[in-house]
Chains A and B, each alone.
Chain A
């Protein structure tokens, strides 16, 4: 699986937007970009995923660069509940290789 690079930590003020970057310069044409987050004392939680076009759901938005070498997870209004470790993961649709490779992620701190 292709590797991703994320900042170790970021801070945001409550109720402000947060942009979490992810670099994936070796992404292949069939790799999807997934984001998961892990709140304290919980298992990872699916946030969003996309291939080429920007994606929106109730939790967040995913902005994908035109060359797909980077992406940004956008939380429109950070809340204290959004404090977590955010993981950017690449994966392809390959049978027999369905595991997720988690990197170190970005620890987001939300300041009240």
Chain B
């Protein structure tokens, strides 16, 4: 079956702009989580959506937001980009969101802010 698909794979944006990243989970998976990975901070949790509702949120500023559609596809948005937002953004899908079921990650979107 198809895995988790993230688009685009690479993105270059200018400081101050906004960006939208997309994630298509595995068919049947209703939970989608987003993570940011940087060399300095490692993998950090951004937020999780389940059935179109944000169920959990990490410690990131309000410039980071997300949403989930009725088909479980999810988008995350970062407004007013800063140089420090340069990172690999990873999406993970899960059958029901419980950590007991395990998560399948996409290959990520590499965002570079210049």
Contacts and interface: CB of A to CB of B under 8 A. Distances in A.
Interface of A: 32, 34, 36, 41-46, 49, 87, 91-93, 95-105
B48 interface: yes
Nearest to B108: A43
Interface in B90-114: 90-92, 94, 97-100, 102-108
Contacts of B97: 95, 98
A98 B48 contact: yes
Interface residues of B, number: 28
Contact of A43 (B92, B94, B98, B102): B92
B48 A102 contact: no
A86 B40 CA distance: 17
Given A43-B90, A91-B99, A96-B56, A102 B106 contact: no
B55 interface: yes
11 contacts: A36-B103, A44-B90, A44-B105, A95-B98, A98-B31, A98-B48, A98-B97, A98-B98, A99-B56, A101-B45, A102-B42
